[in-house]
Amino acid sequence: MAICGRCGKMRARDGAGKPAVAAWCGFVQNLGDGFDGGTMVRHRLRLLGPTLAALAATIGMPASAEGFAVREIAELAGQAAAVLGAGFERSTTESQVVLHCEDCVGEPLVALSLGRQADGTEQRVRSGQTRIATLEEQCKARDPSCELSALSVSPAVGWISSWSMGGRAGATAVVLRDGDLLTIRVLAADAASAGKVLDALVQGLIPKVVGA
Helix and strand numbers, DSSP H then E, in the chain: 7, 9
Q: Is the dihedral of CA 80, 85, 88, 91 positive or negative?
A: positive
Cis amide linkage into residue 207, ω under 30° from 0: no
**pLDDT at residue 198 in the model:** 98
Using an 8 Å Cβ cutoff, are 163 and 55 in contact? no
Could you read off the pLDDT of 101-160 as tens digits, one per residue?
999 999 999 999 999 988 999 999 999 999 999 999 999 998 899 999 999 999 999 999
Least confident of 13-17, 108-112, 151-155, 192-196: 13-17
Residue among 160, 150, 151, 143 at smallest CA distance from 55: 143
What is the chain's percent helix, strand, coil content, to nearest 5? 30, 25, 40
Could you read off the pLDDT of 41-68 as tens digits, one per residue?
444 445 444 444 444 333 344 444 458 9
Report the distance separating Cα 49 and Cα 33, nearest Å. Answer: 14
In the predicted model, what is the mean pLDDT of the chain? 79
